[in-house]
Amino acid sequence: MKEIVVISGKGGTGKTSLVASFAALAEKKVLADCDVDAADLHLVLNPKINYREDFSGGKKAKIITEECIECGECEEVCRFDSMYYPDPENEIPCVNPIFCEGCGVCVRVCPVEAISFDDAVNGEWYVSSTSHGPMVHARLGMAEGNSGKLVTIVRNKAREIAEKENLDYIIVDGSPGIGCPVIASIAGADLVIVVTEPTLSGQHDLLRAAELTAHFRIPTVICINKWDLNPDIAEQIETAAKERGIKDVGRIRYDTAITKAQIMKTSVVEYTGGAVSEDIKQVWRNTIYALG
Amino acid sequence: MKIAIASGKGGTGKTTIATNLTATLASMGKTVQLLDCDVEEPNCHIFLNPHIESSTAVTTPLPDVDEEKCTGCGICAEVCEYGAIAVVKEKVLIFPELCHGCGACEMFCPEDAITEIGREVGIVEEGRADGFRFIHGRLKIGELMSPSVIHAVKIAGRESEVVIIDSPPGTSCPVIEAVKDTDFVVLVTEPTPFGLNDLQLAVGMVRALGMPFAVAINRSDVGDNDVKEYCQREKIDVILEIPDDRKIAEAYSRGEMIISAMPAYQKLLETCWGRIIDIHRNWGELTS
């Protein structure tokens, strides 16, 4: 069983469209959408949810108003500026759950135990079935944090399914950037594909993403989407990648069929038999080859 | 006035709007600063070629244990909610990447054996672009805590008539750090199913924060009409529409500003600025 994670550094380069096509092309696989704060894969794969579970990213402090003696200690020790005073008539604070990091320092310093500290529900995760096999996905609540922990849950569940059903591939849709959720989505993967575009921004962000995968020693390949928008930069990116020992798994041409497929809620390879689909099929074949 | 340019979905054009709007405001004679808070993948400098004048390390507090004073009691590990400390055979082990710098271990150590040292998680660079001050941050590769670097970029900003903040994509903690304490949020999207879905998440976020906002639609003619219908239904103002244009895409690919390649766009951004001012001024009435 092999786990392939698609990331990009820069957002909007076509991660989800590529993963949706891989879903149609790969045999015996499970899909995992690890872009938990802006998940989109479900819009194409139309999953039927079979199981759901609440996600708690950690605890949150909450003032028990009746017990508060207005000493102000909690506000003084909070390093995340989460306390505010909603009532001008008194000094009873309130915790803004958006800013609370769940460190529990206020709970421990409160002299009268007037702060509760319970697991907060800040999202859900799902196991679903799609016409292309099982899918694990999630939804992080509005303005919530700790997406890395939710990413890890989604990946672990996908791995469990792959083992139980004896599947060959775990295909993971990652998030943009190089921070917490991305690190959680690539750690220990068999192969990372960085999807980029032929722009100076795409190149800059690809190189940061490649530095990240090198830092964690994860085998990495690149794929340039919309390469014909600027063939010179496309080539420049492939050369820069090669200098770092990173191979490419192919180029995908610019084609409005990619947006049209999204609107029709289907993958590109199912939407059209055109040249762009041939590009994507070649990328998939090269990806299998890169896995060894 | 501080304005954050944000989006749920990545690659919708935040940086394009942030850089071109800032340059437009500067050419209108305003004192303006641009803060690039997408510290995981900062891109504004590619379009602005700023002259960087200073560079400062961003540090977060990390516990440092005085082994002579430490008795291995394990209280520090007990009070750490992030699992960043483990005590094995009376020896304290610290996992720096997991530390949120809350100070609990230092505060509750009964032996006073913990002090806090600064750990570098990124850098902030300040300088000047053509007609305005420019600040951006870079998260160090392999670090998790981008909000600390974003915070450092924001406090490096000085008072000025207008501050434009280019925010990271998504709807979770880094974005919240970037948009909080601003006066107005512009949510950039594109008219596709992914664009709409992520816009709805971003709208949920700014509403949870109780902030005034409006929507900008990039490549406004590529997809379907659902984003506009959604905005109409939700009474959200659409303050800017940029059509899909290969010339814009090519200028962008080479790191050129749109208003340099196609000066007509400056007018569009001036109008957009007027809309922001109006909506911001009337926000209280609009929502009540």
For the segment A187-219, what is each residue's pLDDT rounded down to a tens digit?
999 999 999 999 999 999 999 999 999 999 999
Residues A83 and A49 reside in one and the same domain: no
- Cβ of B40 within 8 Å of Cβ of A177? The answer is yes
Quote the CA–CA distance of B103 and B121 in Å, as a whole number.
17
DSSP-assigned beta bridge partners for residue B136: B36, B125
Find the mean pLDDT for residues A118-135.
96
The phi, psi pair for B149, rounded to 5°, reads -70, -40
Q: Are residues A48 and A85 in the same domain?
A: no
Q: What tens digit of pLDDT does each residue of B79-119 get? A: 999 999 999 998 999 999 899 999 999 999 999 999 999 99
Q: Is the pLDDT of residue A266 over 70?
A: yes
Question: Inter-axis angle of helices A15-25 and A275-291, to 10 degrees?
Answer: 80
- For testing contact with chain A, the best of B107, B116, B173 (most A CBs within 10 A): B173
Asked which of A85, A105, A120 is the last residue of a domain, the reply is: A120
For A273-282, write each residue's pLDDT tens digit. 999 999 999 9
Q: Do A179 and B224 touch (CB under 8 A)?
A: no
Q: Are residues A245 and A279 in the same domain?
A: yes
pLDDT tens for each residue of A51-60:
999 999 889 9
Nearest chain A alpha carbon to B255: A200
**Cβ–Cβ contact B221 with A under 8 A:** no
Question: In the block, which residue shows the tokens 């879903």?
Answer: A23
Domain with residue A74: its CATH number is 3.30.70.20
A216·B142 Cβ contact <8 A? yes
In a shared domain, residues A144 and A116 = no
Residues A199 and A233 in one domain: yes
Nearest Cα residue in chain B from A140: B172
Q: Does B141 touch chain A (CB under 8 A)?
A: yes
Q: Which residues pair with B238 in a beta bridge?
A: B215
Q: Cβ of A40: how many Cβ atoms within 10 Å? A: 27
**Closest residue in chain B to residue A213, using alpha carbons only:** B142
- Which of A98, A120, A142 is at the close of a domain? A120
Q: Is the pLDDT of residue A222 over 90?
A: yes
Q: What is the count of structural domains for chain A? A: 2
Strand B32-36: give its sheet, edge to edge. Answer: B51-65, B114-129, B132-139, B32-36, B162-166, B2-6, B184-189, B213-218, B238-242
Could you give the CA distance from residue B40 to residue A208 in angstroms, rounded to a whole number? Answer: 8
Contact with chain B for residue A11, Cβ under 8 A: yes
The pLDDT value recorded for residue B287 is 60
Q: Is there a contact between B122 and B138 (Cβ–Cβ < 8 Å)?
A: yes
What is the extent of the structural domain holding A283?
A: 2-56+122-291
- Letter for the amino acid at A222? I
Residues A82 and A174 in one domain: no
Q: Residue A276 and residue A285: Cα distance in Å, rounded?
A: 14
Q: Are residues A84 and A212 in the same domain?
A: no
The pLDDT tens digits for A78-113 are: 999 999 999 999 999 999 998 999 999 999 999 999
Residues of A in contact with B82 (CB under 8 A): 103
Same domain, A162 and A221: yes
For residue A286, what is the domain's CATH number? 3.40.50.300
A188 and A93 within one domain: no
Q: Which amino acid is at B83?
A: G
Res. B288: pLDDT tops 60: no
Q: Maximum CA pair distance of chain B?
A: 70
For residue B159, what pLDDT is reported?
A: 86
Q: Two tokens at B201? A: 């998440």
Average pLDDT rounded to a whole number, residues B240-253: 94
- CB < 8 Å from A in window 66-85 of B: 79, 81-82
Q: Which residue has the higher pLDDT, A61 or B172?
A: A61
Of the two residues B285 and B44, the one the predictor is more confident about is B44
Domains of chain B in sequence order: 2-58+122-287 (3.40.50.300), 67-112 (3.30.70.20)
CB atoms within 10 A of CB A8: 31
For residue range B6-31, what is the model confidence (pLDDT) as tens digits? 999 999 999 999 999 999 999 999 99
pLDDT given at position B286: 60
CB contacts of A201 in chain B (<8 Å) are 15, 43, 46, 252, 255
Mutate to test the interface with B, among A13, A237, A259 (most CBs of B within 10 A): A259
Domain edge (last residue) among A67, A100, A120 = A120
Candidates B20, B3, B29, B60; CA nearest to B275 is: B3
Q: Are residues A138 and A181 in the same domain?
A: yes
Pair (A63, A36) in one structural domain? no
The answer on A229 and A91 residing in a single domain is no
Question: Which DSSP category does B96 fall into?
Answer: G
What digits encode the pLDDT tens for the residues B22-80? 999 999 999 999 999 999 999 999 999 999 999 999 999 999 999 999 999 999 999 99
